[in-house]
Chain A
């Protein structure tokens, strides 16, 4: 099976700093990968580089998505090809209507595929169905993007965007942070239902709670900008028991 995402010897970081050092990672359709690591290891840098953030320049190596070299591709092109990042702390943008922003995004994807814009009625019907599924009240269609949303509402709004945009690779950057137990259960249930044999998940997390619903295929321990150990779900249990210190010094 061809990889969905392939990272080869990636060296990158924000501005002058180099955070990722010759990183390698391959993700196939249908797989669930988990990245765990201490604070400052470079986990969020990895998600920024995959999504193409321009202030995180690549200094070496390549990134392939569905076989295409996307290393130099602008971030919106990557998003249109099916890469989606749920932000750890989704930004509030007062003045940009929540649903109109989403309609813009949906139509940008359709335009890139050579399709007609989604009709407003069709868009609203679909958005409202997903909002009901996520427990987001109707008033969210009138509010500004993430403006005044609680932590849980912001995460559910990210899920709404994911469901509307139907990406192939979903990078979940600490999706469980700021959520209570019920919130984690709701969000993880939605992600589990969304995931299928054609879609892959890359979870960046500190906690195992979410694994009760989403079973990882691979767990990677991340430190000093590279993967130092890869294993199955039971590796996460070792982290819980003995922390990250036990893995430092091991080679990838």
Chain B
């Protein structure tokens, strides 16, 4: 990890750890002078190295810095260090919210729905809630979201993308503070090209992240890039990704576990399974481990293959047609993928309809009669 990225993550951790609630920060920000607002925003943005801003899915922020510099050339400062943020007049939460493209307030219901229908939507969501929050994300357009979780908070993100994708890239990243928990559950079914890029930075001690995905793809490329950075002690993570590909659908998976030097009691597990329905489909899986500590419990596994012939035989030997047997086995695979989702019902209906349609294959989810 580069020094720049390290300092960025440290900064984000400090932001996430700030004691003030978002609303307090907002009111404090409004009280300072116009010139102060601009100066603080400039300082705030300048404190982020470009690499870090790109990593956070906020590339256009660098453009904002440039425009601020051009617009307010009387600012002589260059290359601010992160410590400048602490010298600002306003609250770091408010600065983040004011400086980055969109800001959102979590409603009292602790349920938030994001409709990222605009091209290149970018959101930064600051979590400073003691009770668990659920955010649902729907998009047909390229989008990126950065979640910053303050200590003790718990965030569950449900993201579903179906039908023909016009979105080409969806990025979801999380910075997770002390004892905070981030959970991302995604289900995608469609044709065309789509990349889901999910990263979690476990910056706080005791923090954790679970990333689960089920996808079905045909006539296109579906890519999932997942990386979980273990940057503090007692952090844990689970990656669980299931994919069904058919009719010239191609799946790419790259999953990484990174455990930083000097961290202790790290637990990280990764499972990837890909089911190919016909010879025209393919999968390319790249599981990676980057472990720089000895105090780690880590596992990873990846499998790719066609339906199990022995299982087909077992079902057909009881009188079930080859077509229904195949549908049951695909359904079993999908159900296994959804089995760790907190609310599989949120996805399953639209997922099964779309997946069945694009794959030209009925999918039977088996439930107790």
Known contacts A55-B309, A79-B319, A165-B319; decide if A91 and B314 are in contact (CB<8 Å). Answer: yes
Kindly supply a per-residue 1/0 record for chain B positions 306-321, scoring 1 wherever the CB is within 8 Å of any chain A CB and 0 otherwise: 0001110111111111
Which one of A95, A99, A108 lies within 8 Å of B319 (CB-CB)? A108
Assembled-state Cα–Cα distance A55/B308 (Å): 13
8 A Cβ contacts from A45-66 to B = 51, 53, 55
Q: How far is the CB of A102 from the nearest CB of chain B, in Å?
A: 8
Residues of chain B within 8 A (CB-CB) of A84 are 318
Chain B residue at smallest Cβ distance from A87 = B314
Q: Are B318 and A96 in contact (CB under 8 A)?
A: no
Assembled-state Cα–Cα distance A96/B335 (Å): 9
Q: Are B319 and A105 in contact (CB under 8 A)?
A: yes
Interface of B is mostly: helix
Interface of A is mostly: helix
Known contacts A51-B317, A85-B317, A165-B318; decide if A124 and B309 are in contact (CB<8 Å). Answer: no
Q: How far is the CB of B337 from the nearest CB of chain A, in Å?
A: 9
Known contacts A53-B313, A76-B322, A87-B314; decide if A95 and B332 are in contact (CB<8 Å). Answer: yes
Assembled-state Cα–Cα distance A96/B317 (Å): 15
Q: Are A95 and B318 in contact (CB under 8 A)?
A: no
Q: Are B369 and A96 in contact (CB under 8 A)?
A: no
8 A Cβ contacts from A74-97 to B = 74-76, 79-80, 84-85, 87, 90-91, 93-97
Residues of chain A within 8 A (CB-CB) of B310 are 91
B328 CB-CB contact with A under 8 Å: yes
Q: How far is the CB of B325 from the nearest CB of chain A, in Å?
A: 8
Q: Are B318 and A161 in contact (CB under 8 A)?
A: yes
Chain B residue at smallest Cβ distance from A79 = B319
Kindly supply a per-residue 1/0 record for chain B positions 215-254, scoring 1 wherever the CB is within 8 Å of any chain A CB and 0 otherwise: 0000000000000000000000000000000000000000
Mark A residues whose CB is within 8 Å of B: 51, 53, 55, 74-76, 79-80, 84-85, 87, 90-91, 93-97, 99-105, 108-109, 112, 120, 123-124, 141-142, 144, 161, 165
Mark B residues whose CB is within 8 Å of A: 309-311, 313-322, 324-325, 328-329, 331-336, 339, 366-369
